[in-house]
Amino acid sequence: MASIGRAIVRVPRRVKKGQIFKVQWVIIHPMETGLRKDPKTGKKIPAHYITHVDIYLNGKLVTKIISSPGISKNPYFAIKMKAVESGTLKIVYEDNKGGKWEKSVNISVEG
């Protein structure tokens, strides 16, 4: 799983000021609960999941998601945002094994 922690983010290309738009993303991650057994060895697979995801716009916190292994493998998330200003939307996420990643996209607000 070399691509673990990779994220694909989808935002509208342009938004009008004041408009509410959707931000969606998928993170490549196994989201192991720690309860599942390896069918070959019969041993428990250690828990490995995303613990939290923070979304920032121009450095200001917009949303904080405290996640759990109850979220599906390769987690999908969607939130809404009000178009206030153009800038960089940064998604920062960590897992319980010390993995830390981030992904940024640009948002351009018109009018």
Nearer to another protein, 8 or 61 (CB): 61
Cα 54 to the center of its chain, rounded Å: 8
The residue count for the chain: 111
CA distance 87 to 97: 31
- Return residues touching another protein (CB under 8 A): 20, 22, 24, 33, 35-37, 57, 60-73, 75-82, 84
Nearer to another protein, 9 or 79 (CB): 79
Bridge partners (DSSP) of residue 36 are: none
From the number of C-beta atoms within 10 Å of its C-beta (0-12, 13-18, 19+), residue 76 rates as exposed
Return the residue matching tokens 């939307």: 89
Nearer to another protein, 77 or 101 (CB): 77
Nearer to another protein, 4 or 65 (CB): 65
CB of 34 to another protein, least distance (A): 9
